[in-house]
Amino acid sequence: MKENDYLLLTTGPVPVSEEVRKIFSEQVLYHRSADFIEAFEHVVVGLKYLFQTENDVLPLTASGTGAMEAAVSNFFSPGDKVIVVSSGKFSERWREICQRFKLEVNEIALDWGKSITGEHLLREIAATPDLKGIFLTHCETSTGALTDLGKIIPTIRPHTDALIIVDAISSIPTMPFKMDVWGIDVAVTASQKGLGLPPGMAFVAVNSRAWIAAELAELPRYYLDLTKYRQAQRLKIGSAFTPAVPHIMAAKVILDKISGQTLPAIWREREAIAAFFRTELNKRNIFIFPQHPSNSLTVLDFQHSGEANQIIDRLKNEHHIIVSRGQAKLQNKIIRVGHLVNIGKNELQKFLEALDDVLIAHQ
């Protein structure tokens, strides 16, 4: 059995619809043609709705990590002081990138699965004079934990002029994300999560405060120089460099669907699916790992047994279901089940039945 015939319940890449797969089988447009430029500009409008912003949104041919690197290299200079809130593998990546670019990092290292509060962050802001940036992760994909940006950012915004930069890679569009209303300066997401596209593209939203910082920033960048991408949009030539054309054409279709369904409706749908799944898990006395889970994924806590990987292997081998393993310090302790997009109650019910079978046989 081919792996692409399995039920994919990973945290990304996610299942891709037949409509998107068809687009990827079509002949590629020339990226400087009028037809492609029109599609590209249409996608940018859709991305602004996705991020809930009136500011620039820049598509990059890169992974989400490429967008994260761009969010560091474009707005800071060596020695700048920044705060990084880390509570899992992917929020720790902010620290790693910042340190690689010689920023002075004040890391707030939380226990994995925990979420930062506005009050905690305020204390660190007060203890970090001349602060230039604050790096947050909306949904920590390694633990499923949610950072409540809607509460935290309004709490800290009056007390700092630092840029607020957010990894929204696994949160958009599964839960509310309001860049302009909340006061986020830079945000990044990627194609292979809630958008339901294959891996290969990332998107960076940048407001006017961040562009001012970019004019002063001294860190090196070339391919990820966001001013080049903004200039290309201004000149109406699409992307600064050759983009992933099929991704743009597929994104046009997906973003039109999101606009038609509306973000609030999608948020409610994903919240209901997550609630259904967690209710069913609670009936089975299976605990959810993080304190404050996101709508994008559910993390099953198997720390008591340390046998998560055996269960994952049996789900794949016996029931043809692929889920995500725990990472680093959570290896063999959790099972991560994605339900970002193209996954509904039927697919999750199939997982639950398979899990029941595996757990009975595992006893």
Find out whether 11 and 336 touch, Cβ atoms under 8 Å.
yes
Secondary structure (3-state) at 298: strand
pLDDT at 166 (0 to 100): 99
* Those residues with Cβ within 8 angstroms of residue 176's Cβ, 6 or more apart along the chain or in another chain: 150, 263, 267
- Distance of alpha carbon 337 from alpha carbon 8, whole angstroms: 9
- Distance of alpha carbon 259 from alpha carbon 263, whole angstroms: 7
Residue 224 scores a pLDDT above 60: yes
Same domain, 188 and 267: no
Same domain, 61 and 73: yes
Residue 253 scores a pLDDT above 60: yes
Task: With CA atoms as reference, report the closest residue to 237 among 40, 56, 98, 11.
Answer: 40
| Parallel, antiparallel or unpaired: strands 131-137 and 139-140 | unpaired
Work out the average pLDDT over 114-142: 98
From first CA to last CA, the distance across the chain in angstroms is: 27
Residue recorded with tokens 């002029």: 161
pLDDT at 361 (0 to 100): 79
CB atoms within 10 A of CB 97: 20
Same domain, 90 and 232: yes
For residue 242, give the DSSP letter: -
Q: Which of 260, 283, 299 is the last residue of a domain?
A: 260
Task: With CA atoms as reference, report the closest residue to 143 among 187, 86, 182, 59.
Answer: 86
Same domain, 197 and 321: no
State pLDDT tens for residues 22-56: 999 999 999 999 999 999 999 999 999 999 999 99
Q: Which of 210, 226, 260 is the last residue of a domain?
A: 260
* Per-chain mean pLDDT for the chain: 97
pLDDT at 129 (0 to 100): 95
Indicate the Cα dihedral angle 350, 356, 361, 363, nearest 10°: 150
Whether residue 290 is preceded by a cis peptide bond, meaning omega within 30 degrees of 0, is no
Task: With CA atoms as reference, report the closest residue to 179 among 140, 142, 136, 213.
Answer: 136
Same domain, 163 and 304: no
Find out whether 312 and 335 touch, Cβ atoms under 8 Å.
yes
Find out whether 49 and 175 touch, Cβ atoms under 8 Å.
no
Residue 323 vs residues 197, 314, 326: alpha-carbon distances, Å: 18, 11, 10
State pLDDT tens for residues 346-360: 999 999 999 999 999
Sign of CA dihedral 291, 295, 296, 301: positive
Work out the average pLDDT over 216-224: 99
Work out the average pLDDT over 162-171: 99
Please report how many Cα atoms fall inside a 13 Å half-sphere around the Cα of residue 277, on the Cβ side: 32
Residue 362 scores a pLDDT above 80: no
pLDDT at 2 (0 to 100): 65
Going by pLDDT thresholds of 50, 70 and 90, the confidence category of residue 4 is: low
Side by side, the strands of the sheet bearing 297-301 are 297-301, 334-338, 324-325
- Distance of alpha carbon 262 from alpha carbon 267, whole angstroms: 9
Going by pLDDT thresholds of 50, 70 and 90, the confidence category of residue 257 is: very high
Same domain, 226 and 269: no
Residue recorded with tokens 């029931």: 319
Going by pLDDT thresholds of 50, 70 and 90, the confidence category of residue 306 is: confident
State pLDDT tens for residues 315-341: 999 999 999 999 999 999 999 999 999
CB atoms within 10 A of CB 284: 12
pLDDT at 271 (0 to 100): 99
Residue 1 scores a pLDDT above 60: no
For residue 362, give the DSSP letter: H
Q: Which CATH number belongs to the domain containing residue 284 in this structure?
A: 3.90.1150.10
State pLDDT tens for residues 89-115: 999 999 999 999 999 999 999 999 999
Reported pTM: 0.97
Q: Which of 227, 260, 293 is the last residue of a domain?
A: 260
pLDDT at 314 (0 to 100): 97
Same domain, 288 and 218: no
Q: What are phi and psi of 84, to 5 degrees?
A: -120, 125
Residue 241 scores a pLDDT above 70: yes
Same domain, 307 and 174: no
- Distance of alpha carbon 51 from alpha carbon 255, whole angstroms: 11
For residue 147, give the DSSP letter: P
Enumerate the H helices of 179-300 as residue ranges: 179-182, 208-216, 226-234, 245-261, 263-283
Going by pLDDT thresholds of 50, 70 and 90, the confidence category of residue 173 is: very high
The residue range of the domain holding 161 is 18-260
The string over 165-200, giving b where at least 16 C-beta atoms fall within 10 Å of a residue's C-beta and e elsewhere, is: bbbbbbbbbbbbbebeebbbbbbbbbbbbbbbbbbb
pLDDT at 30 (0 to 100): 98
Same domain, 162 and 37: yes
Same domain, 89 and 188: yes
Structure tokens at 85: 């809130």
pLDDT at 5 (0 to 100): 84
The tally of domains found in the chain comes to: 2
pLDDT at 3 (0 to 100): 63
